[in-house]
Amino acid sequence: MHFKRLSKSISALLGASAVAWAIPSQAQGLPLNRFDPAPAGDRMFGVQSPFAAGRATPHLMLLGDYAHNPLVLRRSSDDSEVGSVVSHQLFMHLNGSFSLFDRLNLNVNVPVALAQGGESPTSGGAAFASPSGASFGDLRAGLRVRLLGEYHDAFQLALGGYVWFPTGESDTFVGDGKVRGMPQVIVGGRTDRIVWSAAAGPELRSLQNYGGVEQGTMVKGGAGVGVLLGESRHLQVGPEVNVAFSTESVNKRTTNAEALLGARYRVVRDLEIGAGFGPGLTSGIGTPQFRGVLMIAYTPEQRADRDKDGVYDDVDACPDTFGDPSEDPAKNGCPAPKDRDRDGVLDEVDACPDTFGIQSDDPAKNGCPPPQDRDGDGIYDDVDACPDVRGVKSDDPAKNGCPPDRDGDGIYDDVDACPDVKGVKSDNPAENGCPPDTDGDGIRDDVDACVNEKGKPDPDPTKNGCPTAVRVTEGAIVILQQVQFDTGKASIKKASDALLDEVAAVLKEHPEILKLEVQGHTDNRGNPKNNEKLSEDRAASVKKALASRGIDEGRLVAKGYGQNAPIDDNQSEAGRQRNRRVEFKIVEKAAKGANDAK
């Protein structure tokens, strides 16, 4: 009787997401976290998908799950908060799945509570112990079988479920020391721009009483929808909701509901990242005030192949007709007509199907080598790689009978404006076969000392085509003039406008420069602290001037070094003049090819 009265008095204190822990025996067996990550490779964070993504395909995911105030003690009289029994839980889930035959999915989830804690509140002389430190949670194994629908179908159906094993400690809010299970019916699908999933089933577990709140078997369900954005459909954004209620006694303390707004992005074909954030919608035990998730996953992209010819739809020129691979995008995946000698005359009308020939209106000669020399260069057409252009003999069959090409750039000398210098093709006869002008400054690359920076002509070969005021090196943007300031001030003289215009133009031409430190320096005259302040102000003025010229301030960091980093002797006026300077140091650059990968 005394136990029951104490239990009832404690339960009267229960509020949003609260349960009493004054009785030591009741502090056992409460897996508080109500978030169950979906298997790696699924479309949602907490809702299973019905498909099996691959014939023999592994998927791996690392997911962080943070819950704020999942267990709070409140007074029932005025709903005032006594304190947080569990104010925060941070779980890390190592989640893996393996898909077989595009139909069967095996999955496992290993949870670890990296951090959890609370205020260990007291009320009416009763203590409510809060957890602390890291704990290993209950290992979860799962299985599902796809019954209807393919991966890219609008409707799919599967049966599956989870089994939890008592690997977690039962007195740290991460386990209950017992096996529990949950069968599920799972539906979902995918259209061109929409993905959706829904799953529901009973979580089968023994009846438990936490501070007068009875919980046992619960009916759990969830649903989510995502919108696929971008031409590649690699960005998914959308909400999902998870709900659970007790079959023993349905009330606000035994009902859990959470919403999550999430985004997932496939960085490359096999790597996906995602994040989600949302509130708790009820006051059930374990429902947090809000929850956040963050994940990274290796999950091979499932590409569609409607005609099952091994050529994926996104590169299949004939996606609904079984065909053959081809290096020609216009023919890839299309049925290939037979042409054994590859002379462009199909075997069915080729009078010489095993000998390279030419087309002819005479069926008896169609596809056979011509006994002639159309261009009159003394090389018969059947071995002339350029049968309509006079050329010279060569041991290379691909060049035999073609005009000479001294520089080997693939442009014949008779139309090559630069026959002794390798170049590129151009519609302009005066430029055809000449080296390109990469930076567009009117100076060809072969004589441009700065091929990636616009410059001006200069008789000095080492300066020809280079900027007159600004140069880009591996670690800095070098200015060949000084930024001029009013004496003793941070205001920039108008005379430096053209120089800063050129620095801004260089930054726009080099988006791979992600972070640039604008450095201010002074000579050693005056107070060191004043010098440092002046150099910081001048660096900030230059940063502001570049921002006004369209440069993202996020790429710029202003820093003053005062007199601490001289580059010359401060004993002479010339040395001091060199030490009073602004420098631009590159502190972060994008990796080569990073922009293309995106």
In percent, the amount of the chain with pLDDT more than 90 equals 41
H or E, element range at 538 = helix 528-548
Residue 161: which region, alpha, beta or left (left: phi > 0; alpha: psi -120 to 50)? left
Domain at 2-120+128-298: CATH code? 2.40.160.40
Reported as a single tens digit per residue, the pLDDT across 382-416 is 788 788 788 788 888 878 878 877 777 778 877 77
Of 188-197, 419-428, 481-490, the one with minimum mean pLDDT is 419-428
Phi, psi of 542 (to 5 degrees): -65, -40
Give, in words, the CATH class of 470-597. alpha beta
Reported as a single tens digit per residue, the pLDDT across 176-232 is 888 999 999 999 999 989 999 999 999 988 776 655 566 778 899 999 999 999 888
Residue 266 neighbours by CB under 8 Å, 6+ apart: 232, 234, 235, 272, 301
**Residue 71 · residue 85 · CB < 8 Å:** yes
Q: Residue 502: CA atoms inside 13 Å, Cβ hemisphere, count? A: 21
Q: Residue 188: CA atoms inside 13 Å, Cβ hemisphere, count? A: 32
User: End-to-end CA distance of the chain, in Å?
Assistant: 68
> 347 pLDDT band (50/70/90 cuts)?
confident
pLDDT on residue 326: 82
H or E, element range at 509 = helix 497-509
| SS3 assignment, position 446 | helix
| SS3 assignment, position 472 | strand
Residue 192 exposed, middle or buried by CB count within 10 Å (0-12, 13-18, 19+): exposed
Per-residue DSSP letter, 166: S
Check whether 247 has a pLDDT greater than 70.
Answer: yes
pLDDT on residue 265: 95
Check whether 150 has a pLDDT greater than 80.
Answer: yes
> 7 pLDDT band (50/70/90 cuts)?
very low
| SS3 assignment, position 578 | helix
> 121 pLDDT band (50/70/90 cuts)?
confident
**Residue 188 · residue 43 · CB < 8 Å:** yes
For 70, other C-beta atoms within 10 Å of its C-beta total 29
Average pLDDT (507-514) is 91
pLDDT on residue 267: 92
Instruction: Find the radius of gyration of the CA atoms of the chain.
Output: 36
Q: Residue 493: CA atoms inside 13 Å, Cβ hemisphere, count? A: 9
Residue type for position 590:
A
Instruction: Check the CA dihedral 206-254-50-90 and report its sign.
Output: negative
pLDDT on residue 340: 82
Check whether 483 has a pLDDT greater than 70.
Answer: yes
Residue type for position 581:
R
What are the sequence ranges of the domains in the chain? 2-120+128-298, 316-369, 470-597
Reported as a single tens digit per residue, the pLDDT across 440-475 is 777 887 877 787 777 778 787 777 777 777 888 888
CA distances from residue 120 to 29, 128, 283 in whole angstroms, order as listed = 18, 5, 20
Distance CA 86, CA 34 (A): 14
In percent, the amount of the chain with pLDDT more than 70 equals 91
> 14 pLDDT band (50/70/90 cuts)?
very low
Phi, psi of 552 (to 5 degrees): -60, 125
**CB environment 220-235: b (16+ within 10 A), e (fewer):** bbbbbbbebeeeebbe
- Calculate the average pLDDT of the chain: 84
Check whether 8 has a pLDDT greater than 70.
Answer: no
Residue type for position 136:
F
pLDDT on residue 214: 66
Of 23-32, 142-151, 231-240, the one with minimum mean pLDDT is 23-32
Residue 481: which region, alpha, beta or left (left: phi > 0; alpha: psi -120 to 50)? beta
> 146 pLDDT band (50/70/90 cuts)?
very high
**Residue 270 · residue 59 · CB < 8 Å:** no
> 593 pLDDT band (50/70/90 cuts)?
low
Structural tokens at position 345 = 């005359």
Higher local confidence (pLDDT), 24 or 527? 527
Reported as a single tens digit per residue, the pLDDT across 50-63 is 999 888 999 999 99
Check whether 591 has a pLDDT greater than 90.
Answer: no
pLDDT on residue 195: 96
> 271 pLDDT band (50/70/90 cuts)?
very high
Check whether 112 has a pLDDT greater than 90.
Answer: yes
Residue type for position 474:
E
Phi, psi of 84 (to 5 degrees): -95, 115
Residue type for position 353:
P
Phi, psi of 461 (to 5 degrees): -55, -30
Reported as a single tens digit per residue, the pLDDT across 515-570 is 999 999 999 998 999 999 998 999 999 999 999 999 999 999 999 999 999 999 99
| SS3 assignment, position 542 | helix
Structural tokens at position 116 = 């959890």
Structural tokens at position 389 = 């252009």
Average pLDDT (111-135) is 84
**Residue 202 · residue 247 · CB < 8 Å:** yes
E strands, 247-383, in order: 255-268, 271-279, 290-298
Reported as a single tens digit per residue, the pLDDT across 161-176 is 999 999 988 778 888 8
In terms of residues, how long is the chain?
A: 598
Any long-range contacts for 6-13 (C-beta under 8 Å, 24+ apart)?
A: 7/209, 7/211, 7/212, 8/212, 9/124, 10/126, 10/211, 10/212, 11/211, 11/212, 11/213, 12/76, 13/73, 13/74, 13/75, 13/76, 13/82, 13/123, 13/124
pLDDT on residue 15: 39
Check whether 21 has a pLDDT greater than 90.
Answer: no
**Residue 124 · residue 69 · CB < 8 Å:** no
| SS3 assignment, position 543 | helix
How far does Cα 516 stand from its chain's mean position? 24
Distance CA 256, CA 74 (A): 18
